[in-house]
Every structure is written in C-alpha cells, then in structure tokens.
Amino acid sequence: MNNTTDSDNNWAELVSGLIAGWEWLERLLAALWNGLGWPHSALIMFCVLICLFKDEIRNVIPRIRKFGTDGFEMESPPQAQQATNEGELQEPPVGDFPHIFGVVFEAVTREIEGKDMAEAKQFLVRDSAGWRVLCFFENIYSNIFGGQIQLLQLLNQRGLAGMPTAEAEREWSAYKERFTPALDDWEMDGFLAFLIGKELIIKSEDRIAITFTGHEFLIWMTKYGRSTNRPW
C-alpha cells in the first residue's frame, strides 16, 4: 500500500515539475516578445534554434544543389554500396516488360533460324555474355561515387605498378576533407570495398592497382558517353 502511495506521489511530482517548466518557458518567451519586440525576439529564437540543431543544419548545407523561389533541392547523402557481383544466372524479367520482351524474343529467334544446334548455342551464349557485360557496367555506374571514378582514373594512369597504400591514404584524406561533413563517418576501407567487390581494383598490404575489369569499365564509360561527374 505504501509503495503504491509513493509511486503516485512521484508521478504527481513529475507532472507538476513538467507543468512548472512549461509555464516558466511560456513566461520567458512572452517576456522576450513583449519586452524586446518581435524583431529582436525572433532573432533570439532563431539563434536558439540554430544552436539546438547545428549538427543537422551543418549536414544539410553541403547537399543543397539549387535554391530558388520554389524552394531548394538537395542531394541524398551517400549510402552504403552493394559490393557483391552480379554474375549469377537470373530468370529474364518477362513479366516486367512483356511487350518489348516479345519483340526482342522474335528478333533473336529469326537470327538463329537456319543455324544448327552448336552454332545457335554459340551465338546465344556470346550474345548473352555481351549483354551481361553491359548490364554489369551499367549496374556499377548507377552505384559508383565520383571519387571512386577519379581513383580508377588515377590508378589507370599508374598502370600495373599501381599506387602505394600510403599515397592512397593521403588522397583519401584530401577527398574526405573536400566533402565534409557528408563523408565524416566513412573510412577508406569502406570506400574501397565497392571497387574491390566489383573487381575493379585489387588491394595488397602496401599497394592498390586497377584490374583489367576496372580498365575496361573506364573504356565503357568513354565509349557510351558516361559522365565522370557523379555525387561524392
């Protein structure tokens, strides 16, 4: 019985404290507004809000791309990238695009008419592999960061010798500083994980080098007009 009474008293004290605090805040705001006038009061309230939400505001400002009468547009913060390969066999997306799938299916059927089984198989395998390469590079490009493309280009200039890890760490520090605070939570290993997972680079204890796949990805970008200007 005493425990119940104590709990009720504690709860009543908590509620009373909250009400008292709220009333004090109301009196303070009213005093500021009436005593200083609305311009000064609004300025003080604005400064208080800036202090309370300074971290959130600091993260938003670098992401603003355009500002105008209709508001402003922002870039999304960098997200974790998928580092797995896309080489596994998958069912064709017939249900997603039935019309164009039917058109292409008929075109391929006409192309293998008159070929024997071995020739048709070789044709289909080569054709499928070629399209898979293009889809693989498109998938990489849709997820890659601009800084990762710049690193690939730099490594491509170095050739098979690659780049010492110490130099790569200096490049990473400069790159991270350029995009602070958006990349404050990122580390170099996480930044390289996507490139390693896609087999665009190889990393040893003391060097980083571009692979043949990474070199051909840059060729694909040039051939198909893909821009090197990417976020981050």
3-state secondary structure the chain: CHHHHHHHHHHHHHHHHHHHHHHHHHHHHHHHHHHHCHHHHHHHHHHHHHHHCHHHHHHHHHHEEEEECCEEEECCCCCCCCCCCCCCCCCCCCCCCHHHHHHHHHHHHHHCCCCCHHHHHHHHHHHHHHHHHHHHHHHHHHHCCHHHHHHHHHHHHHHHHCEEHHHHHHHHHHHHHHCCCCCCCCCHHHHHHHHHHCCCEEECCCEEEECHHHHHHHHHHHHCCCCCCCCC
How many domains, in total, are found in the chain? 1
Report if residue 69 sits inside a domain: yes
In a domain, 144, yes or no: no
What is the pLDDT at residue 40?
60
> Does the pLDDT of residue 50 top 90, yes or no?
no
Is residue 51 included in any domain, yes or no? yes
Residue 27's pLDDT is 75
Question: Above pLDDT 70, what percent of the chain?
Answer: 65
106 within domain boundaries: no
pTM: 0.60
| Statement: residue 85 has pLDDT above 60 | no
Q: Is residue 58 part of a domain?
A: yes
> Rounded mean pLDDT of the chain?
79
pLDDT tens digits along 138-165 = 999 999 999 999 999 999 999 988 999 9
pLDDT at 135: 92
Question: Residue 67 belongs to what domain range?
Answer: 2-74
- For the stretch 4-48, pLDDT in tens is 555 555 666 766 777 877 777 777 667 666 665 556 656 666 666
For CA atoms 232, 162, 203, 136, the dihedral sign is: positive
Q: What is the pLDDT of residue 91?
A: 62
Least confident of 10-19, 127-136, 203-212: 10-19
Q: Which residue has the higher pLDDT, 15 or 222?
A: 222
Per the domain annotation, does 103 fall within a domain? no
Q: Does a structural domain hold residue 153?
A: no
Residue 110 lies inside a defined structural domain of this protein? no
